[in-house]
């Protein structure tokens, strides 16, 4: 992307295949996010080493605590691991590698286990040690990587309970984490769809033209504006259903019918609908496994 900035872009809308980034200058580097498995992280680190002439990774900035962005952290020993205070606080609520392995390998008869097996059964989570952040921040944090200055932005809740973006001003690039999805529907773990819109607004306010989403291909400013419009339209529709007293699951099915479109994983619209219901005061934010069940049930409904 420049002489000092690289993006690891898997260009995939499938669960678990996330993007990352690296800034390298004067023999040192900063890594933004790791991968879902140790093997996937090793493969990424080999490519990074080749691209950056083996620059030492001194800093690892984490976008949020989902395993597909953090479960390779142990392979960057000695690096300072930085994330927002809200992100770090949520770590204890995340599903563990062992729990996800069990869920995706269980031959259950319920929709949740079927959904987990379909989307996560392919991954090998063995050997993973969940590695915690060593430094947290709130607001904004400027970091120096050789001759390059970057800024970590605490976005607050949105996709997750605490999201972080990385802005590279001199290159006009933002690494957005899962605040942005290219080609796939948004997942709202935080319980607030409005917070997702506000996070996108913060990214747009940087003025950059190029964004690296958490999943999918690179996005230009017009793509991000279109993504914001999609979020607000879903919010408007879901909020109207909430005010009409439509039960959440029924409303999610209606939102699915209206907004599924060509984006991958339209069942994720259950999480967006739940977020809109919570924003409007018609429901409490749902715990993670309830959101997964809602997605799984919606995925099995006839189109």
Domain CATH for 216: 3.60.15.10
Decide if pLDDT at 156 tops 90.
Answer: yes
Paired residues of 136 in beta bridges: 83
Predicted confidence at residue 109, as pLDDT, reads 80
For 192, the token pair is 């607030």
Return mean pLDDT, the chain.
96
Mean pLDDT on 121-150: 97
Predicted confidence at residue 58, as pLDDT, reads 97
225: containing domain: 5-299
Decide if pLDDT at 191 tops 90.
Answer: no
- Angle formed at CA 138 by CA 136 and CA 140, multiple of 5 degrees: 105
Mean pLDDT on 263-285: 96
Predicted confidence at residue 122, as pLDDT, reads 95
Number of domains the chain contains? 1
Tell me the C-alpha distance between 25 and 151, whole Å.
15
Strands (E), the chain: 5-8, 20-25, 28-32, 56-61, 80-84, 135-137, 140-145, 148-156, 163-168, 173-181, 210-215, 219-220
What is the tens place of the pLDDT at every residue in 44-80? 999 999 999 889 999 999 999 999 999 999 999 999 9
- 213: pLDDT confidence band, cut at 50, 70 and 90? very high
Predicted confidence at residue 91, as pLDDT, reads 86
Predicted confidence at residue 90, as pLDDT, reads 85
Decide if pLDDT at 227 tops 90.
Answer: yes
Window from 41-45, 113-117, 152-156 with minimum mean pLDDT: 113-117
């Amino acid at each position: 992307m420049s002489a000092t900035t690289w993006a690891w872009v898997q260009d995939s809308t499938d669960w678990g295949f996330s993007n990352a980034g690296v800034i390298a200058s004067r023999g040192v580097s900063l890594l933004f996010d790791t991968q879902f498995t140790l093997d996937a992280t090793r493969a990424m680190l080999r490519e990074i080493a080749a691209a950056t002439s083996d620059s030492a990774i001194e800093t690892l900035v984490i976008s949020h605590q989902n395993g597909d962005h953090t479960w390779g952290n142990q392979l960057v020993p000695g690096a300072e691991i930085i994330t927002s205070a809200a992100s770090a606080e949520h770590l204890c609520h995340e599903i563990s590698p062992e729990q996800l392995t069990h869920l995706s390998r269980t031959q259950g008869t319920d929709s949740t286990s079927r959904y987990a097996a379909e989307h996560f059964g392919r991954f090998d989570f063995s050997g993973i040690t969940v590695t915690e952040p060593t430094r947290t921040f709130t607001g904004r944090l400027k970091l120096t990587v050789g001759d390059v200055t970057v800024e970590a932005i605490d976005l607050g809740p949105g996709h997750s309970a605490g999201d972080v973006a990385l802005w590279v001003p001199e290159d006009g690039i933002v690494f957005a984490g899962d605040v942005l999805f290219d080609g796939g529907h948004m997942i709202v773990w935080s319980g607030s769809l409005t917070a997702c819109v506000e996070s996108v607004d913060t990214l747009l306010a940087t003025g950059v033209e190029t964004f690296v989403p958490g999943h999918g291909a690179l996005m230009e400013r017009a793509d991000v504006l279109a993504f914001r419009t999609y979020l607000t339209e879903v919010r408007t529709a879901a909020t109207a259903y909430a005010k009409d007293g439509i039960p959440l699951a029924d409303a999610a099915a209606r939102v699915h019918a209206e907004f599924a479109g060509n984006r991958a994983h339209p069942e994720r619209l259950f999480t967006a609908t739940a977020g809109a219901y919570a924003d409007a005061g018609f429901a409490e934010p749902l715990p993670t496994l309830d959101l997964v069940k809602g997605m799984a049930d919606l995925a099995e409904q006839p189109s």
